[in-house]
Structure 1
Amino acid sequence: MRKLTTACFLLWSIIGVAQVKPTSADVRMKAVQQRKQLQQSPVNNTSFRNIGPTVMSGRVVDMEVNPDDPTEFYVAYASGGLWHTINNGQSFTPIFDSEDIMTIGDIAMHWKTRTLWVGTGEVNSSRSSYAGMGVFKTTNNGKNWEYLGLPESHHIGEIEVNPNDPNTAWVAVLGHLYSPNKERGVYKTTDGGKTWRLTLSSDANTGAVDLEVNPKNPNELYAAMWYRTRTASNFEEGGKTSGIYKSTDGGENWQLISKEGSGFPNGDGVGRIGLMVYAANPNTIFAVVDNNFRQPANARQNTTDTSRYVLADFKDLSKEQFLALNDNKLNAFVRSPRNGIPAKYTAASLKEAVSNGTLAPTAIWDFLYDANTALFETPIYGAQLYRSDDGGATWKITHKDALPNLYSTYGYYFGKVWVSPTDDKKIVLTGVGLMMSTDGGATFKQIGKENVHSDHHFVWINPKRDSHMINGNDGGCNITYDNGEHWFKANTPAVGQFYNIAVDMARPYNVYGGLQDNGTWFGASTTRENYDWYDGGHNPYTSIGGGDGMQVQVDWRDNKTVYSGSQFGAYSRQTIGTRERRSVRPARDLGETPLRYNWQTPILLSRHNQDVFYYGSNKFHRSMNRGDSLVTMSADLTTNPQQGDVPFGTLSTMSESPLRFGLIYVGSDDGNIQVSKDGGYTWTLINKKLPKGLYVSRVTASAFSESRVYVSLNGYRNDHFEAYVYVSDDYGTTWRQIMKDLPAEPVNVVKEDTEDGNIIYVGTDGGLYVSIDGGNSSMMWNKGMPNSIPVHDLVVHPRDGEIVIGTHGRSLYVAKLDELRKMAKKK
């Protein structure tokens, strides 16, 4: 957690970021109507078909399980919609696809009346946590939905419905992700959502992340307030206005109960909090907190593995301290492949270099430390579980030992606690791992097995048989009947969250893609998902890499040489069907300036010569030998902005002209666009006349005119949702905005058709749009897809006349282009 100074923010305002203002709810609601108008287009005579995949699923954020028949339940995905099963997860039906928003934060079911509430906008404050538009309700299982307002809520942590009165409900609103807003806190309705009152609020950066109701006395409620700010470059994970509040009058008035002296952490170090009321005795409340207070040095020494060095051991060393390091431990650290220190170094050579002044004693720290390190290698307490047995008046921590395997340092992506309704000794915590205690939280063990994905967000514990649990994680839904000894998956929906896709030239061609927290996969474009693969023993999709799957490039000469990787530029080249794999990443030496890598570090294989491979950090790198060695061709191509604890000032996109080898464009996350006409030796800044402070989501060189290039700009990281698409016909010297009739939705990708230069495709956070007149007008193309779905990438296959759509929430779609191209010719 790093708080940038006021001076830094003022400086950043001067260079343009402050010009990007959050989009108002009125503009977003008008965009919904605009989208509906654009859907009434002849292009929707052609339907898309989903080709999966389903095997890796996507991020589950919430569930509602029928307490009388647990084979019926609802599963809410972060950006994949809402699904219903009546056969214990063997099959699911989507029931929210007709609505104007897909992202979900929480759902609540009043089972007596079967009234289902949906709070849109995922509460996990991640890089692709999309803003919602408020609350929806259905009384007929999704056949019809009623919009209930709260459009400025953006991200909803919890909905609670009074079990005795289905018209009374409370909503925990976390608020905007990337900007302050006053509409945060706990809202209450007593008329079924027709009107709302904000009954608990703090400030423009503190919202409600969790909410619990006493099931025996609905007038008693507990709310978790969370201070957090996020920008493109920095994340504050906690603050002094975070805390637990209690109401005894139905949420009309609230009192802070985690105040100083209560036993619960208090002050600037309090991060996200999750709450659970013990159903059998509601005076007992559990709270898991992301404790961001720094541990004292002696505490860290007691909990650190002293048998090996960690990066923090190399910070602020003097020459004498470095020379006194243990040689065996230093050699082990240097030789660890994960550290990437050049193989030429040993403990002896490092000490010699430090001794004679060739290297600084902090050289290892300087080499490995970056903004991502600032986020994850921080000596905070981390996850802690507290218990109160007097209705929240006093609290005690349940465990002596730390819970190091629960969060990856900060818990902004997690933060929930679950307790058996009949046994207060049985507690489950969700985080990177899934941990269960049977002794009241004194000790925990991991219960996720080999077929259970990591990163957990939900657990339902059967009140009639508490060994039966349903778990929601980044890999979908898992079910156990024996306390986690065995699990099976309930992953039939195609809800993959793709970042980037690519195709090869095989017959039939394959589609490749990287997915959020689900690695990189490929499968045939003719795939039709069914259960036959269980008999055959091989899923239609094949995994080729782990981590958060990012960009993919395929050598079309053999359709087997694939470049792929995971977050922050960890790429490799592999040959499909063999074990051959080689890292492809720019090398640098100790003492050299660190490189910065985007979450989706861009890579590119030249179609002019597919031995030529391009790679973007904050600089441009080129290989003439398939990535075996990479040469840094440029200086820093970004604005070199102030660094926080999120990598920023990185290249985000690149494109080479299909008409001219070495004509290359790059864009950065801080708004720079540069062009090189000589293969990367020299660069010219070309974005001076474009809007400032926006993420360059895509730059695409034209295949129809050498001097033409398209650019899309994205304001998601400022809660700015306007659509920006531009074209230049003079290598970026001048620009013209196109597709001006697009609704206010951030644009992720712009591509040309491969046969008709007047056909332009645009993917936004709301769907796919197409122009057949060179960008003068737009049509929405979503037949066969949900009404609204984030489109992160698209590819037009140059041989087969098909378009492939990579969605961030509903996997992959394919459609023929014959009718669209005929329509364009008649234009």
Structure 2
Amino acid sequence: MKKVVIAVCLAAVAVITILFWSPISSTLAQIDIFNDREPDIPAMLRNAKNSITKEEFLEQRAISFGIRRGINNDMPVDPQERPRALAEMDRQADSLTRRPNSPEKNALLAPWTAIGPAPIIAGGARYSGRVIAIAVHPTNPDIVYVGAAQGGLYRSTNGGASWSALMDGAQSLAIGAIAISKSDPEIVYVGTGEPNFSADSFFGVGVYRINNASTTANLTGPLNKDSGNADVFTGRGVAEIIVHPTDSNTIFVATTSGVGGIGGAANNILPSRGIYRSTNAAGATPTFAKLTGLAANVNASVRDLAIDPNNPNILVAGLVAAGPTGGIYRSVDALAANPTFTQTQSYTGTSTSELTTELTSIHPPGDTDATFYAATGNLGGRVLRSTDGGASWIQQVDNNFCTPQCFYDVAIAVDPTNASRLYLGGSPTLIAGFSTTAGTGFTEGGSGVHVDTQAIEVAPSNPAVVYLGTDGGIYKSTNSGASYTHLNTAEFFATQFMGLSVHPTDPNFTIGGTQDNGTNFFDPTGTSWNRVDGGDGGYTVIDQNAVDNTNVRMYHTYFSQTNNVVGYATRATTSGGWGFRGCNSGTPNNGITCGDAVLFYAPLESGPGNPNSVYYGTDRLYRTIDNGTNHTVVSQAPITAGVPISAIGISPQDDNIRIIGQRAGGLFGTNTGSSTLDNYDPTGQVTDGFISRAVIDPNNSAIAYVTLSNFGVPNVFKTTNLNTGAPTWTNISGTIPAVPVSAFIVDPTNSNTLYAGTDIGVYVSTDAGANWTPFGTGLPRVAVFDMAIANGSPRKLRVATHGKGMYEVSLAASLIRSPFDFDGDSKTDLSIFRPGPGEWWYLRSSNGSNGAVTFGNSTDKLVPGDYTGDGKADVAIFRPSNGNWFVLRSEDFSFFAFPFGTDGDVPAPGDYDGDGRTDATVFRPSTSTWFIQGSVFGTVIQTFGTAGDVPVNADYDGDGRSDIAIYRPSLGQWWIQRSTGGSVFAVTFGANTDKTVQGDFTGDGKADIAIWRPSNGNWFVLRSEDLSFFSFPFGTTGDVPTPGDYDGDGKFDAAVFRPTGSTWFVQRSTAGTLIQAFGTTGDLPVPNAYVR
């Protein structure tokens, strides 16, 4: 045997790209709301602000989020559904990782990447998402822990200059409380479940404990059981955790509703709310017991707790309960076996805003009793003070600082060294005030700070340092609250997105609507996010006719309210202003009326046409074909009285094919563009509930999908006869756990590939919904509200999460397909070409049946590949005599033809732009020139190689794109130009008479350099991982090598076709050796088409 010599060549090859693509620089006009005191209401709707109170606004938003998260008063929720779903997802992922390599495993291992916002740029301000809880190390002001609403827990060890996420893998990322053990600061307790009384304040699973918190941060939990092993926390929010000042085993936990707040459901399957205590919290199996002495063991929310720092027996609590029960309670025996409580302050209000109380305490040196402060929404906003340990209270100020929204946000803190210095924040009336007079008056220090203050924490070891959490992120003061600087840096991801849309060609250009942080723009450079409109952002649309990234028609919704604000905004260019379309302040405009029933976040969708048609949903369906200037009602008016549309689906092929879903579960549609929509589910085949998405297959308007936002029931349904006008629906939820599915997309390049965004992450199906598997690694366990495929090289799936910003994953690298797969089952099929009659024969690996077509003649070159992107190889030939390509579509056996190349060219097709479609390509030996007809970026002409070289293109760098590559037989050299980065790699591997059989033999997602030696039937594979090699015998002289992935495990198998008996020999990596006769004398094996 001739020795194989490996020599890595470091020389570079000079190449010239004749035609290339580059993004055009663009900056979308920013909105500066640096001093905007009410960013929830956009500037253009300021008149509407007079028609809706902040409490009404927050209540309506809460109800909307509750329904979207599968929670409403008509459908009680089992809070264990989400933990069970997460456990099931973990089992599925574990099963996949234990399998041999496969497309499903590749999909699971595809890495998600966070793309921001971190932060949102709004003029001179920098914002992130809602921060709920803060805890500062007792002796180091630079060590701080921050909890975000659905954003998880972050730690900084340098005063907020940088952040590390500590709980992205936890069962709940909704953080309600953080407490550091004063006696052992390396122990940190984190309460999950946001305590604010809004349905966007999602429930948790109990308490997590972090050991070695400032270093390795070892996570234990969730901790949620009582001594009888009953779960006492899941489904609730944790409002506060108090750690005994000298005993880290003893903690008090206050719980609130946390399911849907004021807009959601409370039912008897949820744990009782109140105060819980553990005396073994730092141990291996902590347990909790409810303190039943509070208000006769009432099941009511406790919004906050505070203790006497010198005497933890004295515990003060704020109880949210109607009538005389609500108010402030005090215990003087909190450490006793059965603590008792006395009400020391009663509230007479009935709303949650009136009853909410936040507490803070200090025990001044020399004083007999601790001083407590209470910030309450009672009577519009008051600050109370107690100097006798909480036994009695005196009003310090009554300044209506809640206005009224204290049910949602209020925060108070006292300087740990000065009982007269107090910090207070809440509504836009007072964002971050400080008092030096024990709360009798406050000075605003929150200039430039986002409104809606949720948390204030003073550093115990340096009281000049104050940390502030708002709906706009995390801030810090180093001058005792006189001014604040944002800490919303590149590692802090907490934005709560509602929707997103992407540009038709620019891979970065994205707009997305967010809760309380406006509508934001990811610019073409892919480096920054800018706020382009204020208010609560909702759904978004980008016209898909855009040809550059400046003149781009865009749309987005704000909040909506019947008889007040019903409509959306649009702009024509990235530098232009937004114009409102619809009812504003009760005045109808643009054909949109004011009295419609409408969701808080009303659906917005585009159709085909130039410009794209745009649809807006209330209790009727509106359509515009002139950028929103005029609207026509294209449904009954209303479809169902009092029931708004929640989802709109329009066929990309035919604007007359439409489907809508309703809040209560109704489905209506038309196939003719009729303004009378038919009931598309009269027998109730689809589960009742909030229809979150309605999607029509972009390549087949007879196929549609609807998804729902429900817990405990199937949430994905499909029809294949939408075109009949009376579709039948099938549950295809399969292995997707029974959690809300809020986002859904059909891959336009391959309709068999579906993506479902759920309450716990993303699932993928590559067989049109027959099977589902978890998709990708590194995506935090947070709800996905929207998704889109960004075109580029490679294409990327971009998802909008409600709490961790946006993430994306490369599709090309994640869904690696097997070559010569004619039936779409991810396995190479045995297949031959019979030159005489021009016949193709293939044996379907999916069911063992034969397929045969006549296509081509004896002098044609075989060039099979997935030219249409449907996941199946298309029969295709290249005719050397005239350079024409002929492709027989696998979908319907129609064909198309086009000229590309000339006589003497060598066809070398591959997916060079990573869009999932094979690109026609030829290598011209006379000039060593490559001609690539990219399906995304057009024609590329490039010189690479020299006389005598042969093309050996494959994806050598694992980026999902074919790399230009040549084999130089005279020297046994391989030269590869990586498509990512453009660097050139060269290696000597093989001899002049060897056959090139490159492919991914090791299953790492990268093609390995490989040769087959005809003289003795030996295979030699150079591993892409480390450039080591292995060899083995398989075949004999006279055999024809036919490498491919015959068992669908993601690894190439050695295979040969023996012409003498028309017998195939396949060394399958998981299924053993296959020996099978298929073909006859003179047949050519198709998987040999690209062996050189």
Same-fold status (TM-score > 0.5): yes
Structure 2 partner of 1:414:
409
Does the 8 Å contact 1:637/1:674 carry over to 2?
A: no
TM-score (structure 2 length as normaliser)? 0.59
Considering Cα pairs closer than 8 Å and 6+ residues apart, tell me whether 1 or 2 has the greater RCO: 1
Alignment of 1:176-255 (within 5 A): 176-177=259-260, 178-180=265-267, 181-192=270-281, 194-200=286-292, 206-227=300-321, 240-250=324-334, 252-253=337-338
Conserved in 2, the CA contact under 8 Å of 1:667 and 1:697?
yes
Q: Which residue of 2 aligns with 1:763?
A: 757
**Which residue does the alignment assign to 2:23?**
none
Cα distance per residue 1:449-491 (max 9 Å; x no partner): 12x1111111112345434211111111111122433322111
How far apart are residue 60 of structure 1 and its match? 0.8
Which of 528, 542, 564 matches 2:556?
A: 564
Report how far residue 446 of structure 1 moved. 2.4
- Correspondence list, 1:495-506, <5 A: 495-506=494-505
Q: CA deviation at 1:625?
A: 1.5
Within 2, Cα distance between the matches of 1:617 and 1:725? 23
Q: Report the CA distance between 1:823 and its aligned residue.
A: 4.2
Q: Residues 143 and 782 (structure 1 numbering): CA distance in 2 closer, same or farther, change over 3 Å?
A: farther
Aligned mates of 1:98, 1:18 — CA distance in 2: 30
Distance 2:423 2:249 in 1: 31
Structure 1 CA distance for aligned equivalents of residues 287 and 669 of structure 2: 53
Q: Is the 8 A contact 2:582 2:593 kept in 1?
A: no
State which of 628, 644, 649 in structure 2 corresponds to 1:650. 644
> Residue type matched to 1:69 in 2?
N
Please say if 1:550 is aligned against 2:538: yes
2-structure distance, mates of 1:821, 1:422: 59
Distance 1:104 1:823, change over 3 A: farther
Aligned length: 685
Shift, 1:783, TM fit: 1.1
Are the counterparts in 2 of residues 698 and 712 from structure 1 also a CA contact under 8 Å?
yes
Are 2:375 and 1:288 equivalent residues in the alignment? yes
Which position in structure 2 is the counterpart of 1:478? Answer: 475
Aligned-partner residue type, residue 287 of structure 1: A
1:448 aligns with 2:443: no
How far apart, CA to CA, are the structure 1 residues paired with 2:730 and 2:175?
36
Task: Report the CA distance shift for 1:508/1:639 in structure 2 as closer, same or farther (over 3 A).
Answer: closer
In structure 1, the partner of 2:1047 is none
Say whether the 8 Å CA contact 2:544–2:612 is kept in structure 1: no
String of CA shifts for 1:355-374, please: whole Å, max 9, x gaps: xxxxxxxxxxxxxxxxxxxx
CA RMSD of the aligned region, Å?
2.8
Cα shift at 1:636: 5.0
**1:812 corresponds to:** 806
* Cα distance between partner residues in 2 of 1:95 and 1:239: 41
2 CA distance for matches of 1:24 and 1:480?
39
Which letter does structure 2 place at the counterpart of 1:194? P
Determine which of 573, 576, 599 is the counterpart of 1:576.
573
Farther-moved stretch of structure 1 (814-823 vs 122-131): 814-823
In structure 2, what is the Cα distance between the partners aligned to 1:783 and 1:17?
Answer: 31
Q: Which one-letter code corresponds to 1:444 in the other structure?
A: F
Render the CA deviation track for 1:3-27: whole Å, top value 9, x for unaligned.
Answer: x9xxxxxxxxxxx9876331152x4
The structural deviation recorded for 1:781 is 1.7
Q: What amino acid is the match of 1:584?
A: R
C-alpha contact (below 8 Å) 2:445/2:484 kept by paired residues:
no
Q: Which amino acid aligns with 2:439?
A: G
In 2, Cα distance between the equivalents of 1:165 and 1:612?
Answer: 65
Classify 1:725/1:205 alpha carbon distance in 2 versus 1 (closer, same or farther; 3 Å).
farther
- Which of 699, 708, 714 is the matching residue for 1:704? 699
- Is the aligned partner of 1:393 residue 2:409? no
Residue matched to 1:87: 158
Contact 1:182 1:204 (C-alpha < 8 Å) held by counterparts = no
Does 2:146 correspond to 1:52? no
Matched, 1:726 2:717: yes
Q: Paired residue for 1:143?
A: 218
Larger radius of gyration: 2
Contact 1:509 1:524 in 2 (8 A): yes
Aligned equivalent of 1:537: none
**Residue 773 of structure 1 aligns to a residue in which SS?**
coil
Q: Offset at 1:162?
A: 0.8
1:125 aligns with one of 197, 206, 227? 197
Query: For residue 325 of structure 1, what is the aligned residue in structure 2?
Result: none
Query: Displacement of 1:61 after TM fit?
Result: 0.8
Alignment of 1:304-323 (within 5 A): none
Q: State, as a whole percentage, how many aligned pairs show the same letter.
A: 26
1:628 paired residue number: 629
Shift of 1:680: 5.9
Query: 1 CA distance for matches of 2:324 and 2:118?
Result: 42
Contact 1:49 1:814 in 2 (8 A): yes
Secondary structure of the residue aligned to 1:51 is strand
Q: Give the aligned residue type for 1:108.
A: A
Q: How far has the Cα of 1:784 moved from its partner?
A: 2.8
1:241/1:268 contact within 8 Å kept: no
**Kept after mapping to 2: 8 A contact 1:274/1:287:** yes
Match runs of 1:225-374 below 5 Å: 225-227=319-321, 240-250=324-334, 252-253=337-338, 257-258=342-343, 262=345, 264-266=346-348, 268=350, 270-280=354-364, 282-291=369-378
For the structure 1 residues 471 and 410, does the alpha-carbon distance in structure 2 shift closer, same or farther, using more than 3 Å as the test? Answer: closer
1:34 CA drift (Å): 0.5
Query: Are 1:552 and 1:565, in contact at CA under 8 Å, matched by a contact in 2?
Result: yes
- 1:791 is matched with 784
Establish whether residue 65 from structure 1 lines up as the match of residue 136 from structure 2.
yes
Q: Gapped runs of 5+ residues in structure 1?
A: 5-15, 228-237, 292-380, 529-539, 642-648
8 Å CA contact 1:661–1:679 kept in 2: the answer is yes
User: Which shifted more, 510-519 or 193-202?
Assistant: 193-202
Distance 2:406 2:393 in 1: 20
2:188 alignment partner in structure 1: 116
Deviation at 1:704, TM superposition (A): 3.1
Kindly state the Cα deviation for residue 777 of structure 1 after the two structures are TM-superposed: 2.2
Give the whole-Å Cα distance in 2 for the aligned partners of 1:550 and 1:819. Answer: 31
Specify the code of the residue in structure 2 equivalent to 1:486.
S
TM (norm. structure 1) is: 0.78
Q: Which residue of 2 aligns with 1:172?
A: 254
Partner of 1:10: none
Whichever residue aligns with residue 504 of structure 1, its letter is H
Change in Cα spacing, 1:271 to 1:721, as seen in structure 2 (3 Å) is farther
Q: Distance in 1 between matches of 2:639 and 2:375?
A: 40
2: CA distance, partners of 1:583 / 1:796: 28
Structure 1 residues 106-115 or 681-690, which shifts more?
A: 681-690
Offset, 1:414 = 1.1
The superposition leaves residues 403-446 of structure 1 with CA deviations (integer Å, 9 ceiling, x where unpaired) of 2xx33523221133222223333222221322333322222332
Change (3 A) 1:147 1:713: same
- Secondary structure of 1:622 counterpart: strand
Report the Cα distance in structure 2 between the residues aligned to 1:395 and 1:687, rounded to whole angstroms: 60
Looking at structure 1, the residues matched to 233 and 543 of structure 2 have their Cα atoms a distance apart, in angstroms, of 46
**8 Å contact kept, 1:739–1:771:** no
* Cα distance between partner residues in 2 of 1:17 and 1:486: 41
Of stretches 241-250 and 166-175 in structure 1, the one that deviates more from structure 2 is 241-250
Q: Secondary structure at the match of 1:743?
A: coil
Q: Which amino acid aligns with 2:142?
A: T
Give the aligned partner of residue 747 of structure 2. Answer: 753
Q: What's the offset of the Cα at 1:93?
A: 1.1
In the alignment, the residues of structure 2 paired with residue 48 and residue 89 of structure 1 have an alpha-carbon distance, to the nearest angstrom, of 25
Report the Cα distance in structure 2 between the residues aligned to 1:771 and 1:557, rounded to whole angstroms. 29
Aligned match of 1:469: 466
Shift of 1:85: 0.9
**Structure 2, gaps ≥5 residues long:** 1-54, 60-70, 97-104, 120-126, 225-231, 561-565, 819-823, 827-1092
Instruction: Give the helix-richer structure, 1 or 2.
Output: 1
- Equivalent pair of 2:686/2:717 in contact (CA under 8 Å): no
Instruction: Tell me how far 1:167 sits from its aligned partner.
Output: 0.8
Structure-1 residue corresponding to 2:242: 160
Deviation at 1:157, TM superposition (A): 0.4
d(CA) in 1 for partners of 2:768, 2:298: 43
